[in-house]
Chains A and B, each alone.
Chain A
């Protein structure tokens, strides 16, 4: 599903001409198979988010290549990336990233709108999805009127609405209390088992055990395969 090879990345900070180069990732190789849940762990500032952002196309790699779902995305233009994200990737963020001026319904509907799906189908699919995350009675609420857990469920609904084969999650449980965290991990596991959705997520060590098949650790920009936690089922 994801194949990262020889990926290096360095941030350039400062003015042009006298930039400071901050190397973050060094020669990273990572394979994620279809149907896997892979957890990325590592200390804060080790480069986990940077890796995920590269795979998401939010930043562009200069060295190395990334292939997702058989497509080499390393040299994608911004608009190609946008299209690719819409059609192939789902995102869950630590801080939910919902649009505050849109209701839960509108937030979940947004990818369908971007894709140009017609109104009746949009309504049907969005309502179905909200039901699936247990928020059917909150569809007219705005993000500010929802709890953290509810907001995260809205964001998951939004990530799932176009049935992406792969979901990228950067500390999805980071802003949740332990109750909501458990629920979310459960839901991820269920999605993986029932729909075969692949997950690449950055998380903390202790939660991972319950659901991830595999764990990779980034130490100062070098990726190290830890150990297989479970055999991939099926």
Chain B
């Protein structure tokens, strides 16, 4: 018997009891949709967590530290030699943090950076370029916001926190910062040191402004100065504070990161770096640990969801068992004429497969619609009733292809399994008993 004929035969059989058929399909649909929806919550949480981790670090970034002590020039050179390392960025923190322009002032997070390496590592700028000369600097995206006029007395009195924040913004620097020259005040932030006379300053020019951080709430007010300027600054500060001249943490790097050409190389390069007795930290590593946890979590949800599918499959089992009983005469006649047990079995398996396919198809569709609806409606509901905006990119349900594939496999597997026994039963229909119906 050709497949096309089996298909036709099964279809006409299925039409015999439509209500029962659709009820069975409905049960599978709900079971399948439930499985996908439940698991999609796990997938959404996982995705949110991964996106979160990825949003403030680059995938091809490996943070490197020593077991004890700080990273030295020597360490950086060793890292640069490692195969697969594209660039090694390194930063030193300065103890002088005040910058100003006209009457605007800020205390920023000033660091030295090795500009060629930063450039190679893919430092992202919103505007401008990377520094080329000693006195050129790059500032973070929110630098201007923090550059403020002095607060008049009682400026924020009686204001709520939110209002105060708005009010503070009015004091911020409004103009264009790119290519402006700022005054860098070379005074150590150690409050114990008192300086007589005017504070020494150095003019620095903003040549680039960093890109907006991926995360809404992140606030980037950092200032990157060149290493040459840093050395000059330290020697001046060293005269103010003898501790600075001898401080190890100012000679060595506070933050060292190795970058690979692509995310795929991270694991290999990490291994090489760790062989040299460094400690590493990378997204890939963190994700790996996170993935184990979330995979277990998702598997648990899928397992619970699969129970719903299993319950639905009892419906398929019943329907198919009844179908076999009802059609035992037809089966008997077909067997008498020359239908092999294999053919009979295939026909009934095909019927349960069709029920399963309908269930899976409609269930998946329903799950996608529900998922979309929930993701769309929930933030609105939260805003309405809890009066709070959910975080950006909020997702309660996420259905990746892999989940759909898993659900389809589970549903179809369970369906075929539940259709198996009725189909096997159909093959054992006794020809003579079936033919003896009305004799």
Task: Give chain A's interface residues, CB within 8 Å of chain B.
Answer: 53, 56, 58-59, 78-79, 82-87, 89, 91, 93-95, 97-99, 101, 110-111, 113-116, 158
CA distance A83 to B13 in the complex (A): 23
- Residues on B with C-beta less than 8 A from A83 are 338, 340
Residue of B nearest to A107 (CB): B333
Q: Note all chain B residues with C-beta closer than 8 A to A115.
A: 1, 338
B193 CB within 8 Å of chain A: no
Closest residue of chain A to B430, judged by CB? A58
Q: Which chain B residues lie closer than 8 Å to A84 at the CB level? A: 338
Are A87 and B338 touching (Cβ within 8 A)? yes
B residues adjacent to A (C-beta < 8 A): 1-2, 5, 9, 12-13, 16, 329-330, 333-343, 431-432, 435, 437-439
Partner of A82, one of B330, B340, B432, B437: B340
Instruction: Please tell me which one of the listed residues A53, A111, A116 contacts residue B337 in the complex, with CB atoms under 8 A apart.
Output: A111
A113 to B10, CA, bound (A): 13
In the complex, the answer to whether A82 meets B338 with C-beta atoms within 8 Å is yes
Q: Closest residue of chain B to A111, judged by CB?
A: B337
Q: Tell which of A94, A98, A101, A116 touches B2, judged by Cβ atoms closer than 8 Å.
A: A116
Contacts of A116 in B (CB 8 A): 1-2, 5
Shortest B349–chain A CB gap in Å is 16
Closest to B339 in A: A114
Does the CB pair A114–B334 fall under 8 Å? yes
Number of A-B contacts (CB under 8 A): 68
- Can you list 27 pairs linking A and B with CB atoms under 8 Å apart? A53-B432, A79-B341, A82-B335, A82-B343, A83-B338, A84-B338, A86-B337, A86-B338, A87-B338, A93-B435, A95-B439, A97-B333, A98-B333, A101-B12, A101-B13, A101-B330, A110-B334, A111-B337, A111-B338, A114-B1, A114-B334, A114-B337, A114-B338, A114-B343, A115-B338, A116-B1, A158-B337
| A58 and B341 within 8 A (CB) | no
> Given the complex of chains A and B, what is the CA–CA distance between A75 and B198 in angstroms?
115
Task: Look across to chain B and name the residue whose beta carbon is closest to the beta carbon of A78.
Answer: B341
Are B1 and A85 touching (Cβ within 8 A)? no
Q: Chain A residues with Cβ under 8 A from B341's Cβ?
A: 78-79, 82
Q: Which residues of A contact B5 (CB under 8 A)?
A: 113, 116
Known: A58-B431, A59-B432. A110 touches B16 (CB 8 A): no
Chain A residues closer than 8 Å to B337, beta-carbon distance: 85-86, 91, 110-111, 114, 158
The chain A residue sitting closest to B436, CB to CB, is A95
Q: Bound state CA distance, A93 and B337, in angstroms?
A: 11
Bound-complex Cα distance A116 to B9 (A): 13
Do residues A85 and B342 form an inter-chain contact, with CB atoms below 8 A?
no
> Which label, helix, strand, loop or mixed, suits the secondary structure of the A interface?
helix
The dominant DSSP class at the B interface is helix
- For residue B2, which residues in chain A have a CB less than 8 angstroms away from its CB? 113, 116
Give the nearest-CB partner of A84 in chain B. B338
Kindly state the separation between the CA atoms of A83 and B342 in the bound complex, as whole angstroms.
Answer: 11
- Bound-state CA distance A79–B345 (Å) is 12
A98 to B337, CA, bound (A): 11
Residues of the B chain whose Cβ atoms lie less than 8 Å from the Cβ of A110:
334, 337
- Distance between A2 CB and nearest chain B CB, rounded to angstroms: 18
B431: which A residues are within 8 A, CB to CB? Answer: 58
Residues of chain B with a CB closer than 8 A to A86's CB: 337-339
Q: Which A-B residue pairs are the 8 nearest by beta carbons?
A: A86-B338, A82-B340, A79-B340, A85-B338, A58-B431, A113-B5, A116-B2, A99-B330
Contacts of A59 in B (CB 8 A): 432
CA distance A114 to B437 in the complex (A): 23
Q: Compute how far the CA of A115 lies from the CA of B432 in the bound complex, rounded to whole angstroms.
A: 22
Cα A212 to Cα B221 with chains together (Å):
110
Which residues of the other chain, A, contact B435 by a CB distance below 8 angstroms?
A: 93, 95, 97
Least Cβ–Cβ distance between B180 and chain A, in angstroms: 83
Contact of A79 among B334, B336, B342 (CB under 8 A): B342
Q: A85-B336, A89-B338, A99-B329 are in contact. List 19 more A-B contacts (CB 8 A).
A: A53-B432, A58-B336, A58-B432, A78-B340, A82-B340, A86-B339, A87-B338, A91-B336, A94-B439, A95-B437, A99-B330, A99-B334, A101-B13, A101-B16, A113-B2, A114-B337, A114-B343, A116-B2, A116-B5
Complex formed: what's the CA distance from A213 to B338 in Å?
Answer: 28
Closest chain B CB from A68 CB (angstroms):
14
Q: Complex Cα distance A120/B1, Å?
A: 15
* A58→B330 CA distance, assembly (Å): 15
CB-CB under 8 A from A91, the residues of chain B are 336-337
Task: Find the A residue at minimum CB distance from B1.
Answer: A114
Give the distance in Å from the alpha carbon of A83 to the alpha carbon of B1 in the complex.
11
CB distance from A58 to the nearest CB of B (A): 5
Closest to A87 in B: B338
Residues of A with C-beta under 8 A to B9: 113
Q: Which of A59, A82, A101 has the most CB of B within 10 A?
A: A82
CA distance A86 to B1 in the complex (A): 12
Query: Which residues of B lie under 8 Å from residue A87 when comparing CB positions?
Result: 338
Find the residue from A89, A94, A101, A114 having the highest chain B CB count within 10 A. A114
Provide the residues of chain A in CB contact with B13, threshold 8 Å.
101
| Complex alpha-carbon distance, A82 and B336, angstroms | 7
Q: How far is the CA of A53 from the CA of B439 in the complex (A)?
A: 15
CB distance from A156 to the nearest CB of B (A): 13
